[in-house]
Amino acid sequence: MIKRLLYHLYTKRLLAEVRQGIMPRHIGLILDGNRRYASGLGREPSFGHELGADKLQEVLGWCADLDIRMATVWVLSTENLSRPEGELRGLLEVIERKILQMVQDPRVHRRRVRIRAVGQLDLLPESTRQVIARAEEATQAYDAFALNIAVGYGGRQEIVDAVKSLLRAEANQGASLEEIIGGLAPDEISKYLYTQGLPDPDLIIRTSGEVRLSGFLLWQSAYSEFYFCDAFWPAFRKIDFLRAIRSFQQRERRYGR
Residue 139 C-beta-side C-alpha neighbours within 13 Å:
30
pLDDT computed for residue 1 by the predictor: 75
32 is catalytic: yes
Q: Which of 235, 198, 240 is nearest to 36 (CA)?
A: 235
Helix axes 45-65, 85-104, angle to 10 degrees: 30
Q: Which of 150, 143, 185 is nearest to 166 (CA)?
A: 185
Query: Can you give the pTM of this predicted structure?
Result: 0.93
pLDDT computed for residue 141 by the predictor: 97
Per-domain boundaries in the chain: 21-249
Of these residues, 32, 34, 200, 202, which one is catalytic? 32
Tell me which fold the domain 21-249 belongs to. Undecaprenyl pyrophosphate synthetase (3.40.1180)
Of these residues, 34, 65, 80, 161, which one is catalytic? 80
Give the pLDDT means over successive 10-residue stretches in the chain (257 positions). 84 95 97 95 92 93 95 95 89 94 92 95 96 97 96 96 95 92 92 95 97 96 96 97 97 71
Q: What is the largest CA-CA distance in the chain?
A: 72
How far is residue 66's CA from residue 118's CA, in Å, rounded to a whole number?
25
How far is residue 246's CA from residue 20's CA, in Å, rounded to a whole number?
10
Three-state secondary-structure class, residue 83? coil
Cβ atoms 256, 221 nearer than 8 A: no
240 is catalytic: no
CA distances from 131 to 123, 126, 138 (A): 14, 9, 11
How far is residue 60's CA from residue 74's CA, in Å, rounded to a whole number?
14
